[in-house]
Structure 1
Amino acid sequence: MGNPMSVNLQRAGFAVRGYNPPPARTDALVEAGGTAAESVAAAVDGADIVCVMVPDSPDVQDVLLGDDGVFAHAAPGTLVIDFSTIRPDVTSDLAKTAQEKGFRLIDAPVSGGEAGAKSAKLSIMVGGADADFAQAQPVLNAVGATIVHVGGNGAGQTVKAANQLIVAGNIELLAEAVVFLQAHGVDLDAALDVLGGGLAGSAVLDQKRANVTSNTFDPGFRIDLHHKDMGIVTAAAREAGVALPLGAVVAQLVASARACGDGKLDHSALLRGVRRLSGQSPDGQEVAS
């Protein structure tokens, strides 16, 4: 997702210098007029704002704290926008370290998948100081459509965790509904038409309908990443002392899909897991009994 986001920033008038190994991953940025860097240090040298988009908490820690990292090579006072989805407690700790080292950090995880990244219509939930959010606004506006400051450092990651909880639950229930409808021989497209027009309608149904009806799961957001995010949800819930019973079940279903080899598929491939539990082929083919 960082690749199309960097392209949109370049097209919006920012001078973007990006680092994303291997080198071919920066081709689109270069074609848009940006510059490819050979290291994190080279990418952040002289930058006014540094944007980070990597998969997990250890990756962000490495990018910011490593010997080749942002805090070692960016100019003091630089604003760091972390678009990654990571643990709220890690974000809070990194924000404190940033302040100690003379930097400013906001967490700005995004929702909308690869399609939202390409169209610059991401939903962005931002945690950090008011002044830092204000400075980041032009950057956020270039990559997102719904941008909300939800609180201090870590709040953005907490809201993103809630987002991932809701999305996973919706996808799982959509998958179960599809298996249920098909088991009764109902016209699936007709059923989804009417469900989408009522209270059961959702962005998940709209965006994932084509996947579940065509049995095509090219990744927009991989199960591997949603598995990571559900781990963030369950850990943060335990830390806060709250119970998420349905969330815990969905987390296990996501883990099961990954364990069954579906981790590289789009998270709508949870449908394959429901089929397995129902004694069906995960591909939707007839199984001899």
Structure 2
Amino acid sequence: MTTIGFIGLGIMGGPMAANLVRAGHTVLGYDLGQARVDQLVAAGGRAAADAADAATADVIITMLPDSPDVEAVALGEGGVLEHAKPGALYIDMSTVRPETARRLAHAAAVKGVRTLDAPVSGGEPGAIEGRLSIMVGGLEGDFEEARPLFEVLGATVVLVGPAGAGQTVKAANQLVVGGTYALVAEALVLLEASGLDGKTGLDVLAGGLAGSRILELKRESMAERRFAPGFRIDLHHKDMGIAVAAARDAEVALPMTGLVAQLVAAARSQGHGALDHSALLKVIENLSGRAPVKE
């Protein structure tokens, strides 16, 4: 069993850390919210005094909102790389810019610390159930060492390339997810505006070629206008920015990605940033002049 320092115990990180505890690992958890740390302790984990304390573990995992947060925790004063032991394995499971992952890998190598970027997809249900999709960038030897931990957390675990590659694949994932939510929202608005029952229509779509994981999990809540966050619009807005920047760096044109990024930005500017990303439905309703149904 491994001693793991887990920094970031939010909607995703909390259940992931708890799953590692249940698998028999010693988990030192740290979060800015003390209630989240207390929840991990109640599940059998241990409280780290701060990020520096968590960084003394054999394996360090960060699950944080954005690139600046990861850079501050990893590279800042009193951070992970200042306190990690030579030979330790640092796994960043946040969704950040690919260049951030590459910068961390370079800085860690100077300190003798190994790194993997391993963003995840699957939302809160996947984190709770240990069925996340984990896309990993880094060296094969480090990936194989971390595989037993990944297999506690995810059902699909793939090494996709060198440092930063995991984040590029996650950007591709997020543009597909955002686009699918937008199209499901449009389908629901079309069905209801045509006098049909939206939920029944989405049930039919889910059973055919249009079926998707999003329709499987979210068609009922979208039809009922329930937008409790599993993954917030604010975070998807950040992720679409990463996707657009990655396209620019790769010198490719992704017109649908640009459109979806604008729809997500509109959702945020309309005050829906704290809602689930399925709340793209609210933007489509507004564009169509449809009176939104109150949650």
The share of aligned pairs that are identical, in percent, is 57
Alignment-mate amino acid for residue 43 of structure 1: A
Q: Work out whether residues 161 and 229 of structure 1, in 8 Å CA contact, stay in contact via their aligned partners in 2.
A: yes
Partner Cα distance (2:69, 2:291) in 1: 36
CA distance in 1, matches of 2:18, 2:166: 23
Residues 111-142 of structure 1 deviation map (CA, whole Å, 9 limit, x = unaligned): 01111111111110001000000111111111
Alignment check: 8 A CA contact 2:203 2:219 kept: no
Q: Distance in 2 between matches of 1:265 and 1:135?
A: 37
Q: Which moved more, 1:276-285 or 1:68-77?
A: 276-285
CA displacement, residues 70-118 of structure 1 (integer Å, 9 cap, x when unaligned) = 1111111110011000001111111111111111110000001111111
Amino acid at match of 1:67: E
Structure 2 residue identity aligned to 1:242? V
Q: Does 1:215 align with 2:197?
A: no
The aligned amino acid for 1:99 is: A
The answer on whether the counterparts of 2:60 and 2:91 sit within 8 Å (CA) in structure 1 is: yes
Task: Output the CA distance in 2 between the equivalents of 1:118 and 1:28.
Answer: 14
Select 2:111's aligned residue among 101, 105, 110.
101
Q: How many Å apart are 1:27 and its aligned residue?
A: 1.8
Which moved further from structure 2: 192-201 or 233-242? 192-201
Give the aligned partner of residue 277 of structure 1.
Answer: 287
What is the 5 A alignment of 1:137-216?
A: 137-216=147-226
Q: What is the CA–CA distance in structure 1 between the aligned matches of 2:33 and 2:196, rounded to whole Å?
A: 47
SS at match of 2:229: coil
Deviation at 1:193, TM superposition (A): 2.0
Decide whether the 8 Å contact of 2:181 with 2:214 is kept in 1.
yes
Is the contact between residue 116 and residue 142 of structure 2 (CA under 8 Å) also seen in structure 1? Answer: yes
Give RMSD over aligned pairs: 1.1
Gaps of 5+ in 1: none
Report how far residue 284 of structure 1 moved. 6.2
**Paired residues, what number?**
284
Residue type of the partner of 1:270?
Answer: L
Structure 1 segments (4+ residues) deviating >6 Å: none
Give the unaligned 5+ runs of structure 2.
1-11
Q: Hey, what does 2:18 align to over in structure 1?
A: 7
Cross-structure match for 2:45: 34
Q: Does 1:235 align with 2:250?
A: no
> How does the TM-score come out when normalised to structure 2?
0.94
Instruction: Give the CA deviation at 1:281.
Output: 2.4
Secondary structure, in 3 states, of the residue corresponding to 1:33?
coil
Within the candidate set 15, 21, 33, 1:22 is matched to 33
Preserved contact between residue 176 and residue 271 of structure 1 (Cα < 8 Å):
yes
Give the deviation of 1:200 after TM superposition: 0.5
Q: How far does residue 63 in structure 1 lie from its aligned partner after superposition? A: 0.9
Q: In structure 1, what is the equivalent of residue 146 of structure 2?
A: 136
